[in-house]
Chain A
């Protein structure tokens, strides 16, 4: 196995590990909504939530990097140019994540000084990590970009997928730099923060996962490169066309001109169109191959990616995308519901698909199947759908009672929080969260055990022969 693939396995393993941390801290965060005194004075809600959303970013980033490092040697026929640096930085990355988690757990905050920004945390949602860690992440991303672009240059050849990925490396690295400046004006700070959150997620990440899934589909179904690349170009242009200006739908209450809400709403409303095309493509590929593949879990996770992206991003997003409606739903559990479903569908399912692809090759398995992955698939997706459904009900109650009827006063906020539909949604979310957590455990067991039984049986049979 090449060094790049060995590194990919490390990244994917770390991703699955941090996926677990995200799940656990998410479950903890859910408990606070039904028992606000939970772990009072020991672990506060804000700490659990920071761990939940930050590890979500980290595990997906690690998953993307693992996936890219897995496919790079196959695309270029050689090791990445800076594989040695990537190997060192992997351990630095993991150590930094663990150190930051420890800081969040045991220090959490400090005085409003530069020292706090550098050593404790920067205070911005999703990118709270202290500046030293953010420098580390930027360095990891730079080396990652170098390995993609530099390897293409050294190999003196480039595929369409790698060309798209290489161009995407520029905004992927640059947009993260918004995590650094400490802007005093909160409105200005949020303006740029939305660039980081929205453009990273709905532009660069979307393209990155598009490239990864293109490589995965070629591997899984043997679909020709020309077909996959043709579709990738269409998808990328449509996603970019709708996603970039869709940024405006976040610009509430930060002093931006009104027209941004209209522009953002218009382009966001177009976003389900390419997603529907992706669903048709997924069904077509599944049908052409009559659902037959040597790696069923990877194939089903790929299908889940297409459908989850459509449902989470398309259906759940479209419900709240028009500015007139977003005004009421913004910042409620409704948006949390949309966020959970969209992230799961667009990114998490894709990363899990690549995990199975990598395992098949690493353990030299002719076929990958069995009941374990099905249990994990059903529990994870069932738990997730249950969670987002519960959050949807709770969010609708918030938007309806607190915002639309109550007019967003403090009294209305309290009434919204005490509304039976909201509390029922919170209990139900926790219950489905437990199902999701069980799915995670089954997934890990399945990933660890996959192919090992067959290998053991083969060893037992061998002496008798």
Chain B
């Protein structure tokens, strides 16, 4: 691993999780507001995550098992916000928190 690739790989990993956070935040705002614009922004955030992950898979000097972990994590990040959202909605509905 060259020094430049070390730094680039590390920053890409940070960006991956940061983009996941932005996707989750925008997804939640979109669901609350019922806004397609925010949903598209959330999609853009996930797009950044996907491109970043693709870059890691293609260029990062890390072994295949780690790349597999990155790919699976990227997929998990896609589903965590909607799945968590549905879980929260159902539990709140059962408890009668929502009107």
Which residue of A is nearest B84, CB measured?
A280
With A276-B81, A400-B3: A314-B17 Cβ-Cβ less than 8 Å: yes
- For A271-301 the 0/1 string (1 means CB < 8 A from B) is 0110011011101100110000000000000
With A280-B28, A314-B21: A324-B1 Cβ-Cβ less than 8 Å: yes
Question: Does B14 contact A280, Cβ atoms closer than 8 Å?
Answer: no
Cα–Cα, bound, A270→B17 (Å): 11
- Shortest C-beta distance, B31 to chain A (Å), equals 8
With A273-B73, A280-B28, A280-B80: A400-B7 Cβ-Cβ less than 8 Å: yes
| Residues of the B chain whose Cβ atoms lie less than 8 Å from the Cβ of A328 | 6
Question: Does A315 contact B7, Cβ atoms closer than 8 Å?
Answer: no
Cα–Cα, bound, A404→B1 (Å): 9
Question: Does B91 contact A325, Cβ atoms closer than 8 Å?
Answer: no
CB of A226 within 8 A of chain B?
yes
- For B1-39 the 0/1 string (1 means CB < 8 A from A) is 111001101110110111011001101110010000000
- Shortest C-beta distance, A232 to chain B (Å), equals 12
Find residues 44-97 in chain B having any chain A CB closer than 8 Å to their own CB: 61-62, 66, 69, 73, 76-77, 80-81, 84-85, 88, 91-92, 94-95, 97
Question: Does B91 contact A288, Cβ atoms closer than 8 Å?
Answer: no
With A226-B91, A325-B6: A287-B73 Cβ-Cβ less than 8 Å: no
CB of A39 within 8 A of chain B?
no
Question: Does B88 contact A279, Cβ atoms closer than 8 Å?
Answer: no
Which residue of A is nearest B95, CB measured?
A224
With A230-B91, A284-B88, A399-B6: A276-B24 Cβ-Cβ less than 8 Å: yes
| Residues of the B chain whose Cβ atoms lie less than 8 Å from the Cβ of A226 | 91, 94-95
Which residue of B is nearest A225, CB measured?
B95
Among B62, B69, B84, find the residue whose CB has the most chain A CB atoms closer than 10 A: B84
Which residue of B is nearest A224, CB measured?
B95
Question: Does A279 contact B21, Cβ atoms closer than 8 Å?
Answer: yes
Cα–Cα, bound, A269→B80 (Å): 15
Question: Does A227 contact B91, Cβ atoms closer than 8 Å?
Answer: yes
Cα–Cα, bound, A289→B80 (Å): 22
Question: Does A287 contact B28, Cβ atoms closer than 8 Å?
Answer: yes
- Shortest C-beta distance, A317 to chain B (Å), equals 8
Which residue of B is nearest A287, CB measured?
B32
Cα–Cα, bound, A234→B80 (Å): 13
| Residues of the B chain whose Cβ atoms lie less than 8 Å from the Cβ of A223 | 97
Say what secondary structure dominates the interface of chain B. Answer: helix
| Residues of the B chain whose Cβ atoms lie less than 8 Å from the Cβ of A200 | none
Question: Does B24 contact A273, Cβ atoms closer than 8 Å?
Answer: no
- Shortest C-beta distance, A286 to chain B (Å), equals 9
Question: Does B73 contact A322, Cβ atoms closer than 8 Å?
Answer: no
Question: Does A276 contact B21, Cβ atoms closer than 8 Å?
Answer: yes
Question: Does A311 contact B91, Cβ atoms closer than 8 Å?
Answer: no
Question: Does B10 contact A320, Cβ atoms closer than 8 Å?
Answer: yes
Contact of A280 among B3, B11, B24, B91 (CB under 8 A): B24
- Shortest C-beta distance, B33 to chain A (Å), equals 9
CB of A316 within 8 A of chain B?
yes
Cα–Cα, bound, A231→B92 (Å): 12
| Residues of the A chain whose Cβ atoms lie less than 8 Å from the Cβ of B69 | 266, 269
Cα–Cα, bound, A276→B26 (Å): 13
Contact of A316 among B14, B24, B61 (CB under 8 A): B14
With A224-B97, A270-B73, A399-B6: A315-B88 Cβ-Cβ less than 8 Å: no
CB of A394 within 8 A of chain B?
no
Contact of B76 among A273, A310, A396 (CB under 8 A): A273
- Shortest C-beta distance, B78 to chain A (Å), equals 11
Contact of B3 among A224, A287, A314, A404 (CB under 8 A): A404
Cα–Cα, bound, A270→B32 (Å): 28
Question: Does A283 contact B25, Cβ atoms closer than 8 Å?
Answer: yes
With A280-B84, A325-B6: A288-B98 Cβ-Cβ less than 8 Å: yes
With A314-B17, A325-B6: A276-B80 Cβ-Cβ less than 8 Å: yes
Cα–Cα, bound, A357→B62 (Å): 47
- Shortest C-beta distance, B25 to chain A (Å), equals 6
Cα–Cα, bound, A279→B48 (Å): 19
CB of A252 within 8 A of chain B?
no
CB of A182 within 8 A of chain B?
no
Question: Does B14 contact A288, Cβ atoms closer than 8 Å?
Answer: no
CB of A318 within 8 A of chain B?
yes
| Residues of the B chain whose Cβ atoms lie less than 8 Å from the Cβ of A310 | 21
CB of A329 within 8 A of chain B?
yes
Pairs A–B under 8 Å by Cβ, sample size 18:
A231-B91, A273-B77, A276-B24, A279-B21, A279-B24, A281-B84, A283-B29, A287-B28, A310-B21, A314-B17, A314-B21, A315-B14, A315-B21, A318-B16, A319-B13, A322-B13, A324-B61, A325-B10
User: Closest 4 A-B residue pairs measured CB to CB?
Assistant: A404-B3, A319-B14, A283-B28, A280-B84
Q: A279-B24, A319-B10, A325-B6 are in contact. List 9 more A-B contacts (CB 8 A).
A: A227-B97, A276-B20, A276-B81, A280-B81, A283-B24, A315-B17, A322-B62, A324-B62, A396-B7
